[in-house]
Amino acid sequence: MLDVSGYAEITDEELAAALDFSCAQVLGNLGQFTEQFQNAYSEGNFYRPIGNVDWTNGFWTGEIWLAYEYCRRNGREEDAARLRHAAEVQVESFYRRIVNKDQVDHHDMGFLYTPSCVAAYKLTGNTRAREAAVLAAEQLITRYHPVGEFIQAWGPMDAPENYRLIIDCLLNLPLLYWASEETGDGKYREIAEKHIHTAVANVIREDYSTWHTFFFDMKTGAPDHGSTCQGYRDGSAWARGQAWGVYGMACAYRYTGREDYIDKFRHVTEYYMDHLPKDLVPYWDLEFGEGSTEPRDSSSASIVACGLLEMSKYVGEPEAAFYTGLAKKILKSVYDGYAVKDGAVSNGLVLHSTYSNHSPYNTCNHYGVDECNIWGDYFYMEALTRLDRDWNQYW
C-alpha cells in the first residue's frame, strides 16, 4: 500500500473551517435551491437548478441536513431553522415523486431517499419522510431478480441487455435495512442480503480491483461477464466504482456482520490506495497514475474517506486508528487542493470531480468532467461531519 506515514492530517482548525464554509455555502444557496435542486454536476464550477428528476437529488437535501446538524450543534438556531425549512420543502417534493412514481424506475432509491427522507425522519421524526422512504424501499425491491438474486440497476426488467447489477448499488441497500427495521418486515433485508452476496461474489476481481457492472444469464442466473459503463475500459478499475466498493463493503459489514466482508474491504481499499497519485486524490480511472494529465475524481476521495471512517468503528486497534488517520490525510489533501474556499469561484464545495468521461473504450458522453458534483460535495460534508463528532449516520 502507498506509504502515507509522512502525510499530514487535516487539523481540528481546518476541519472547523471546512465545515463553517460548507454551511455558509449551503445557506447562501438556499434562495436558489429550495424549491429546486442543484444539478448533478456544475458547469464552469456553478450548479444550475433542476427539478426533482435525477438520481442525484437526494445529495443536495443531504447537504442541507448536514448543515442543519452542524448549526444546531453550534447553537446557531436561526440558521438551523432556515435549513430545516428548506429540507422539509424538499422532503415534500420527494414524497410527491415516489407517490407519483416519477422517474423512480431504477435502483437509485437509496441515493435519493436516504440522505433526504431517512435523514429527515431520524433527525426530526417527520412521518411524511418515513412514509416516502418506505415507499422508496418498496419501489427498490420491485427491481429484484429472484433467479439471478440481484437488484437490476437500469432499464426494463425483461431485457437481457439490462440483466446486470452495478457496484454503486451497495450504497442503495442501507435503505432496505432501514425499511425492515422500521416496518418489522424482513423482506427488504432479505433482498438486500441476497444482492450483497451476488455483488461481492462477482464484482470483485481476483486482484481486488472491481467491475463497474456485471451481467448474468437471464434464464439460469449464472454469472456471465463484467463490463464497464463509466470507467476507462472493461478491464480497468473506474475510480468511483472502487470507491463505492470501499464504502459499500463497510456498509455490507455493518448490516450483515460477516467477517469475510471486512477482509474484502481491506483488499479493495488496498487496491485503491495502491493506484493513487501522491496527493491521494485519484484520477477518474485507477488506470491512470502519478503524472497523468487525465482529470481527477475528487468525489471518490471523499467517498473512500467515509468508508474508512465507517469501517474504523468495527475493527480493533491499531487498524481503526490507521483508517481514521488515512481518512484525515485524504481529507487534508481534498481540503488543501480541491475544496472551494471562496463563493465567487463556485457555488459548490469541491472542485475537480468527474461524472461521465468519454474514452475510446466506453460509451459515455462527456459531461461533468473536472467540475464539482453533487455527491462529491455531499460525501465531503459527511466525512467532515464524521470526524467532527459521533454522527448518527443516515445510511
Give contact residues for ligand GLY (rule: CB under 6 A).
168, 230, 240, 355
**Distant-in-sequence, close-in-space partners of 68: CB < 8 Å, separation ≥ 6:** 80, 83, 84, 87, 123
Closest to ligand GLY by CB, 334 or 387: 334
Closest to ligand GLY by CB, 383 or 387: 383
Mark whether 217 is an active-site residue.
Answer: no
Closest to ligand GLY by CB, 93 or 299: 299
Closest to ligand GLY by CB, 189 or 240: 240
- 213-216 and 164-166 as β-strands: parallel, antiparallel, unpaired? antiparallel
User: Among residues 54, 168, 279, 377, which one is catalytic?
Assistant: 168
Q: From the CB of 165, what's the least distance to ligand GLY, in Å? A: 12
Closest to ligand GLY by CB, 71 or 250: 250
Q: From the CB of 344, what's the least distance to ligand GLY, in Å? A: 28
Residue nearest to ligand GLY (CB): 168
Mark whether 263 is an active-site residue.
Answer: no
Closest to ligand GLY by CB, 168 or 294: 168
Nearest CA among 297, 227, 302, 238 for reference residue 271: 238
Q: From the CB of 185, what's the least distance to ligand GLY, in Å? A: 27
Q: From the CB of 18, what's the least distance to ligand GLY, in Å? A: 23
List the grid coordinates of 393: 449516520
Tell me the β-bridge partners of 350: 339
Q: From the CB of 322, what's the least distance to ligand GLY, in Å? A: 26
**Distant-in-sequence, close-in-space partners of 214: CB < 8 Å, separation ≥ 6:** 164, 165, 166, 199, 202, 203, 223, 224, 225, 226, 227
Q: From the CB of 160, what's the least distance to ligand GLY, in Å? A: 22
Instruction: Report the distance separating Cα 285 and Cα 20, nearest Å.
Output: 31
Q: Please state, in angstroms and as integers, the Cα–Cα distance from residue 146 to each residue in 43, 190, 222, 390, following that order.
A: 41, 11, 12, 38
Q: From the CB of 61, what's the least distance to ligand GLY, in Å? A: 17
Closest to ligand GLY by CB, 126 or 353: 353
Q: From the CB of 13, what's the least distance to ligand GLY, in Å? A: 32
User: Among residues 54, 79, 108, 279, which one is catalytic?
Assistant: 108
Closest to ligand GLY by CB, 61 or 126: 61
Per the CB < 8 A criterion, the answer to whether 150 and 194 are in contact is yes
What are phi and psi for residue 364, nearest 5 degrees?
A: -75, 145
Catalytic residues: 108, 168
